[in-house]
Amino acid sequence: MRLTGRTALITGAARGLGRACALRFAEEGADLVLFDLGEHLDEVPYALGTPEQLEHTAGLCRKSGAGVLTATGDVRDPDTVARAVEAATDRFGRIDVLVNNAGIAAPSGKDLHLVEEREWSVMLDVNLSGAWRMTKAVVPGMLARRSGSVVNIASTAGLVGYRHFAGYVASKHGLIGLTRAAALDYAPLKVRVNAVCPGSVRDDPLVDGRMLGEIARSLDVPVHEHEETFVQRQPSNELVEPDDVAAAALWLASDESRRVTGSVITVDGGFTVW
């Protein structure tokens, strides 16, 4: 029960890695604020998490004994972010852990010069600026208490390049830079900021995962072949599981990593060692 007595705010919590983190945190004693968009974005060519999926995540966490508050909103809107943080503070009194997981993988799948202005803007505004807005809203409370942990869910795309994914790669490289800079800003006040870089994560139906499938679609890889295609590039000969990433986030959220800040942890089966 490494997070007993603490409250964690997780963005992108309706499904995928957000749900995996929420379930693992709930098992470890945390109360949770689960935040997700809950609607469609015109620029994104696949369905995003729904309010129903968000409530399903909440129900699963409550079964572990967690107190749960759900909130829908857009990380691109500072007023919505501020309201969610205020509601969380009113309900639980404080936010001890922030997991910036909200992110999109598309629009992608084209050469850089073919990316449209709106496509570039939405990718950076969700994946990079969204994490900045959430951190900006949550960290003051952490600083006042001289404790807190921010965990940014980046990607191996924040460490290496991927053809036809310029916007995604730029946003995740930026998120790692944000992590390192914020870690230096807040280290004297005992607020830690770290990043997790997942590799190819299996689309586990238990968490309604679909990110790997959408990346495959952007690359015109047949759906029935996409897992095998990605496994072939893994030194470990297997895909990463959502709970592998959640376990890394849990460690960074807990006191076990109390001397760790500004770190970038890869959970990629050795992919970035190539």
**Segment 121-170, tens digit of pLDDT:** 999 999 999 999 999 999 999 999 999 999 999 999 999 999 999 999 99
Instruction: Report if residue 228 sits inside a domain.
Output: yes
Range of the domain at 220: 7-262
Instruction: Report if residue 257 sits inside a domain.
Output: yes
| Structure confidence at residue 224 (pLDDT) | 67
Instruction: Report if residue 196 sits inside a domain.
Output: yes
Instruction: Report if residue 191 sits inside a domain.
Output: yes
Instruction: Name the token pair of 165.
Output: 């994914």
Measured between alpha carbons, how far is 256 from 253 in angstroms, rounded to an integer? 8
Do 241 and 202 touch, CB atoms closer than 8 A? yes
Measured between alpha carbons, how far is 8 from 71 in angstroms, rounded to an integer? 13
Measured between alpha carbons, how far is 5 from 88 in angstroms, rounded to an integer? 14
Give the CA-trace dihedral at 169, 163, 120, 107, to 10 degrees: -100
The pLDDT of 34-43, averaged and rounded, is 95
More confident residue, 133 or 237: 133
Check: pTM over 0.85? Answer yes or no: yes
pLDDT > 70: percent of the chain? 99
| Structure confidence at residue 223 (pLDDT) | 64
pLDDT at 34 over 90: yes
Instruction: Name the token pair of 171.
Output: 């946003």
Model confidence over 62-108: pLDDT tens digits?
A: 999 999 999 999 999 999 999 999 999 999 999 999 999 999 998 88
Q: Which helix (H) or strand (E) holds 80?
A: helix 78-92
SS3 content of the chain, % helix, strand, coil (to 5): 50, 15, 35
Instruction: Report if residue 1 sits inside a domain.
Output: no
Instruction: Report if residue 273 sits inside a domain.
Output: no
CATH number where 120 lies: 3.40.50.720
Instruction: Name the token pair of 233.
Output: 């590039």
Shortest CA distance to 267 belongs to which of 196, 213, 209, 212? 196
Q: How many domains does the chain have?
A: 1
Sign of CA dihedral 81, 86, 89, 90: negative
Cα angle 32-9-125, degrees, rounded to a multiple of 5: 145
pLDDT at 244 over 90: yes
Amino acid at 85: V
Residue 43, Cβ neighbours under 10 Å: how many?
17
| Structure confidence at residue 220 (pLDDT) | 77
Instruction: Report if residue 93 sits inside a domain.
Output: yes
Q: What residues act catalytically?
A: 168
**Residue 267 DSSP SS3:** strand
| Structure confidence at residue 93 (pLDDT) | 98
pLDDT at 226 over 90: no
Average pLDDT value for the chain: 94
Q: How confident is the model at residue 227 (pLDDT cuts 50, 70, 90)?
A: confident
| Structure confidence at residue 218 (pLDDT) | 76
pLDDT at 19 over 80: yes
The pLDDT of 244-255, averaged and rounded, is 98
Instruction: Report if residue 115 sits inside a domain.
Output: yes
| Structure confidence at residue 233 (pLDDT) | 78
Do 75 and 133 touch, CB atoms closer than 8 A? yes
Do 150 and 193 touch, CB atoms closer than 8 A? yes
Do 176 and 159 touch, CB atoms closer than 8 A? yes
